[in-house]
Amino acid sequence: MIVAVIDSGVDASHPDLEGQVLPGVDLVDPGAGDLGQVDPVGHGTTVAALIAGSNQDSSGAEGIAPGAKILPIRVLDKANKYDDPGVIAQAVRWAVDHKAAVINLSLGGALRSEAIAGALQYAAAHDVVVVACTGNIATDTSIHQVWYPAREPGVVAVAGLGAQAKSRGAGAQSADMLWSGSLTGPETVLAAPAVNLTGAKPGGGYWQVQGTSFAAPLVAGAASLVRARFPRMSAANVINRLIGTAKDLGPKGRDDRFGYGEVDPVAALRTELGEVGDNPLTAEAEPVQADPTPVEGPMRPGGAAPMPSSSSADRELEQRLAGDGREELSAVAGLTAMLLILMAGAAGVLLRNNRRRGRHSL
């Protein structure tokens, strides 16, 4: 399954991403000839490894969907920002035209862009799942709403969960569950861990990171798993499966802080759901809620009936994901490591941008 990472580029030479990074495109420096496979910042490499990292030495970055292929599209410059929303729109269209099934956008800004909106409509028309981060409070304290493009209807907007999100369950009320740096609002769709994350660093190393930028790829990875398991399933039904099987947090049902709740890849792969005709995140559609009884094997698209037994590789992946799936997003992703914040400062990795500029979200 192809997941487009629209970001700062991806270091294709990193051991945990070796063989997983497809030729992409560099829209910042088109003459560089690096095909998006060079990352001067590290942000995109970290995002990519959270999706598809292979954890070669058992102490690095292992993604939630290690079988996915990463399509790198560089839009963030060496200061890890973009100034022209048209570049983001171009990247989305390029990803769609190059067969991405899922697009991850760990970036955003305050202002809506008609160009990006048009590109997202293009993605929807071509049956592509788009995931974006809700944004970070610390990046620009003047912004108090979910970043754009996560605010665009139909996009899976992902907020971040904090280190204290331990006692989870339907109706849980603990304010500690939401990461203190996460922007949220009525557009929030899902939540995923945003701290305690080991990221791949360009050059072959690792660092500890936090931010909604790194929650979003966990959901993008889950979407990739669903699309791989159910290859005939539409994007609308993939999204419905993710939100219909999420672990409810906060007030019952969808709320402004956690959306539908914490993404649950195991439940998304195993639970029987009916089909929807339209994206449930648009005004015209309503989500189909999960049947609380899990299905004990892979299903046909829409959950009509069990499919033949999955391959041994599929069963192994499901077992790895299910290892501690009720307390963590994924045992594979190593999300219970001790929290260490990725420091920026003088290096300019964490930037304060004005309201008209796009930014990443460390």
Would you give the distance in Å from CA 12 to the centre of its chain? 19
> What pairing do the DSSP bridges indicate for beta strands 107-108 and 205-209?
unpaired
Query: Is 98 among the catalytic positions?
Result: no
Q: Cα(353)–Cα(346) distance, rounded to whole angstroms?
A: 15
Nearest residue to 220 via CA among 251, 242, 188: 242
Catalytic residue among 7, 11, 39, 248: 7
Q: Which residue has the tokens 């990193």?
A: 14
Question: What are the angstrom distances between the C-alpha of 109 and each of 63, 161, 327, 362?
Answer: 27, 21, 32, 14
Beta carbons of 299 and 160 less than 8 angstroms apart: no
Q: Residue 191 pairs with which residues in a beta bridge? A: 159, 262
As a whole number of angstroms, the longest Cα–Cα distance in the chain is 56
Query: Is 59 among the catalytic positions?
Result: no
Nearest residue to 242 via CA among 214, 221, 263, 213: 263
Pure H helices in 230-324: 235-244, 265-270, 312-322
Q: Within 10 A of 95 (CB to CB), how many other CB atoms are there?
A: 31
Would you give the distance in Å from CA 225 to the centre of its chain? 12
In degrees to the nearest 10, what's the CA dihedral of 346, 348, 353, 357? Answer: 160
Catalytic residue among 54, 113, 213, 330: 213
**Do you know the residue count of the chain?**
362
Catalytic residue among 11, 43, 54, 330: 43
Number of H helices, E strands in the chain: 7, 12
Q: Cα(334)–Cα(63) distance, rounded to whole angstroms?
A: 9
Sheet of 25-26, strands arranged across: 25-26, 69-74, 2-7, 102-105, 129-133, 156-161, 190-193
Query: Is 309 among the catalytic positions?
Result: no
Pure H helices in the chain: 43-52, 85-97, 114-125, 212-229, 235-244, 265-270, 312-322
Residues acting as catalytic residues = 7, 43, 213
